[in-house]
Amino acid sequence: MADSSQGLHEEASELSALTRDVHRALVSLQEELEAVDWYRQRAEACRDGELREVLLHNMREEIEHGAMVLEWLRRRDATFDEHLRTYLFTDVPITEAEEAATGGTEETGPDTTAAKQAEAPPVAASPVAAAASVTPPQQGLTLGSLKQQDREVA
């Protein structure tokens, strides 16, 4: 059995196809990030300059692979989409990104994530998938999308 199937915590027959694919993506992301770490350490310790460049090239390839898998996840999970839009490609301090994106209402206001997910139709008929908030991302106005609009206008 492939590694991506071995880490299941429940019987595969109990899981939707989407949840099994999300598991495959999460395992792949873990593997890509682990490879980035390994290549970076090997390159830094390597005494041969040419081999170091090969190892750094490979590390950069693994970063690309990880980014591709992360984007696949973002396109299928509304919570990934929401948080990546909040925290990625911003210039504000990371710990202030949420407040900047929500206008400071997130900390004191009600948790709107659950309400938004309850409104969103689940992709799979599985109640498990719905409970796991595996729904397609909603297009909304976030700091990330606003910055993207700025870049497209400029």
- φ, ψ at 125 (rounded to 5°): -70, -15
Stretch that binds Fe ion, among 56-64, 78-86, 99-107, 118-126 (CB under 5 A): 56-64
Q: Give the tokens for residue 92.
A: 């504000």
Please tell me whether residue 28 binds Fe ion under the rule CB under 5 A.
no
CB of 96 to Fe ion, least distance (A): 33
Selected from 27, 29, 55, 62, the binder of Fe ion by CB under 5 A is: 62
Instruction: Give 1-62 as a DSSP string.
Output: --HHHHT-SS-GGGS-HHHHHHHHHHHHHHHHHHHHHHHHHHHHH---HHHHHHHHHHHHHH
Look at residues 60, 5, 12 and name the one whose alpha carbon lies nearest to residue 27: 5
Nearer to Fe ion, 66 or 122 (CB): 66
Stretch that binds Fe ion, among 32-40, 69-77, 120-128, 133-141 (CB under 5 A): 32-40
The span from the CA of 48 to the CA of 131, in Å, is 51
Please tell me whether residue 77 binds Fe ion under the rule CB under 5 A.
no
Stretch that binds Fe ion, among 1-9, 38-46, 63-71, 112-120 (CB under 5 A): 63-71
Which residues of this chain interact with Fe ion, rule CB under 5 A?
A: 32, 62, 65
